[in-house]
Structure 1
């Protein structure tokens, strides 16, 4: 059987968030003799699994990339100065060191940077695996981007067979998968699991959902908040998470700290997101800062009119950007409005019952590391 046929039989989908058929993407790459870029950036908030693959499964990753590339050039994308980039360089691989920006790890941003452009998303009219020209008329050579975990899983399938892969997970989402889990006591612990695992079991591996926590963020900055009361009944699959408007996405989950007002947590994320614009479209350049400012007005001053402005901006941002970054942030904010209604009423009344503790994930004192099991 061909590589494409084996991947199709296994049902492997991308582990970077889009969950697109890997077999379909690899088939198109072969048809257009596309170069391959392995994305190991871990660009989402709380993500660490691709760095884990590079740190612990690099020979398998390289073997998988070479099989999937079928003789085409292979390179590896990582954020500039990261441990992942250092490991890739030490292995003698061709490395694309991208600016440590949120949008720089988006597929078209990686391709733009690989071909001499800026590391920012391109407005495109067709899949870049086919090549062609971007909206500015610049010629784009055929290039495929695959997430590092996806490439590692492909290597496992080629070594162990589709039946082995399908012995994990569900019929709709087969195979083992990595998830980066964060709680108030642990940040970005990488756990190996499968679709269908209980969400509480995943959180327990990193310290659990603490009493009084307002909920869990699934999917990072482009993800969805899940109320704490809903967590015990959920499993790590699109079918189960879909009941509360969430999906597996890029494989990150964070239990919120009960000592911090969830609206203050959202405010920190929105403020950071507003500074991550690629600077090429209005929704990012103006819409996100305005959304962050309105959120601040609601949280810090109890501005009663801010809620209506936030609702309006959430609707206006979707579908208007040069990439999906504004869509993801708008969904993130809209989800917070829906899930944290009690806290919203407190702030609209000019008070907050939660003592706010602001911290950055990198410096908040939580233990870090990996756990596989």
Structure 2
């Protein structure tokens, strides 16, 4: 489900006065997702598609980089690094090929924004790719997509074919002299390949494992050449910025986190879905739009950016959902995957399932992550099933501390985040599992990844 208003702008959250839910939405990427055949080139061009590209091709490449940099667009893949600055790092006049790689390996638990975007509006990504390649002087771009999402893979292939046929890809694009080829690559389904250097190794045909940095991809990336790796949403946001202007983009969101973005709302909420809104909106406002938590239940805890970000509680409903606001409150905005859990959910069970995921997806390259996640799973299972001991709580905290900041890539940090935050806010619940010799929650009343998901996303 996608929620979008009928206008293209939005007021800044918290800018004074109460705004209606419609005024808080900013449908740009999702403006016509609900229209028939929204994924086709014909539909995209009816909605001013490829107009941003025409403007960009009339500008020198360095001016395009400066324009995107001035807009304040920050990477939508999790880290929030300024997109224009990332493009600026590519050395010029080095005599090497330059590459653009789009990271579409969306696999963070709770994250579901890039796949719907590619399914409903793939040409926004293709147009953004051409603009980015013009800016960084690249003639080859790669889209690294999760191979499991076959319908999206097929739709993306068709969109690329349409773009070639219409002259938006290939030789001498729109008479500009730019030649560009785009290759869609289907990955084999490994969480670690969402890490940009592991993605590059996988794209080169090797086992997907993080590389030692430096050198960074901007200097020695794909095939040891200068490479920009950007998230799908980051690149897909560029055409609207070029077409409607950087000031228009900056009129939304907050000062340091401007613009619009997709928030993925899931879990025990009345109407889960994609809510495209300005940066800085709050979960309270999003819940007001989505009908709140399922009827008769209350919010217990939630993640602001997927399971790899420290969890929040109902005390954080008014935290601005931008990079600065979430960071100041002790978590990370990440991929804006807002998973909401009600009071029927056992925190220990949720954290155990997440940790099992990270242990399974660890590439095994570094000891802290490989060994640490394994032992965290063993201890958490014992605690959940009532076999744990009081000292186990300090032990899992210590193991998480030995993983956090000490692993080869950010997967280890993500695995440690649920441990730290759940112990901070729900230590008593862990202790209840120890003293009560088992989980105090009735599994029949919980819908956390159970067989019956009828309560997920509806008023029960």
| Partners of 1:50 and 1:149 within 8 A in 2 | yes
Moved more, 146-155 or 197-206: 197-206
2:327 equivalent in structure 1: 242
**Contact 1:200-1:209 within 8 A present in 2 as well:** no
TM-score by length of 2: 0.73
Match of 1:321 in 2: 407
User: In the TM superposition, what is the alpha-carbon distance from 1:331 to its structure 2 partner?
Assistant: 1.9
Distance in structure 2 (CA, Å) of the matches to 1:362 and 1:279: 31
What's the counterpart of residue 354 of structure 1?
A: 441
Structure 1 position 339 matched with structure 2 position 400: no
> Paired residue for 1:299?
384
Who is 1:86 aligned against?
A: 154
Aligned partner of 2:174 in structure 1 is none
Alignment of 1:7 with 2:64, yes or no, is no
Q: CA RMSD in A?
A: 2.4
Aligned residue in 1 for 2:275: 191
How far apart in 2 are the matches of 1:295 and 1:312? Answer: 13
Counterpart of 1:63 in structure 2 is: 127
Contact 1:54 1:88 survives alignment (8 Å): yes
Contact 1:79 1:100 in 2 (8 A): yes
Distance 1:355 1:142 in 2: 54
Larger radius of gyration: 2
Where does residue 273 of structure 1 map in the other structure? Answer: 358
What runs of 5+ residues in structure 2 fail to find an aligned partner? 1-58, 162-181
Contact 1:48–1:188 (CA under 8 A) maintained in structure 2: no
Distance 1:108 1:12 in 2: 22
Q: Does 1:151 align with 2:235?
A: yes
Report the CA distance shift for 1:188/1:28 in structure 2 as closer, same or farther (over 3 A): farther
Counterparts of 2:285 and 2:450, CA distance in 1: 22
Contact (CA 8 Å) 1:318, 1:326: kept in 2 or not?
Answer: yes
Matches within 5 A, 1:1-373: 2-29=63-90, 31=92, 33-70=97-134, 71-82=138-149, 83-91=151-159, 92=161, 94-131=183-220, 140-185=224-269, 189-209=273-293, 211-228=297-314, 230-301=315-386, 302-350=388-436, 351-356=438-443, 357=446, 359-360=448-449, 364-365=453-454
Q: Give 1:39 deviation, angstroms.
A: 1.5
1:266 is displaced (CA, Å) by 0.9
Deviation at 1:256, TM superposition (A): 1.0
Instruction: For 1:321 and 1:47, locate their aligned partners in 2 and report how far apart those are by CA, in whole Å.
Output: 23
Contact 1:263 1:299 in 2 (8 A): yes
- SS where residue 146 of structure 1 aligns? strand
Q: Work out the CA distance in 1 between the residues paired with 2:455 and 2:203.
A: 35
Question: Larger deviation: 264-273 or 91-100?
Answer: 91-100
Deviation string for 1:300-353 (max 9, x for gaps)? 124222101101101111222221101111122111111112312312312544
Conserved 8 A contact 1:181-1:188: yes
SS at match of 1:325: helix
Distance in 2 separating the partners of 1:43 and 1:188? 18
Task: Report the TM-score when normalising by structure 1.
Answer: 0.90
CA–CA distance in 2 between the matches of 1:187 and 1:45? 19
Quote the offset at 1:367 in angstroms. Answer: 6.5
| Alignment deviations for residues 250-307 of structure 1 (CA, whole Å, 9 cap, x no partner) | 1111111322211111111111211111121112221101011111222212422210
Decide whether aligned partners of structure 1 residues 223 and 132 sit closer, same or farther in structure 2, where only a CA change above 3 A counts.
closer
The answer to whether the Cα contact below 8 Å between 2:90 and 2:226 also exists between their aligned partners in 1 is: yes
In 2, Cα distance between the equivalents of 1:251 and 1:12? 15
Instruction: Give the number of aligned pairs.
Output: 363
Aligned partner of residue 9 in structure 1, secondary structure: helix
Match of 2:27 in 1: none
The aligned residue for residue 29 of structure 2 is none
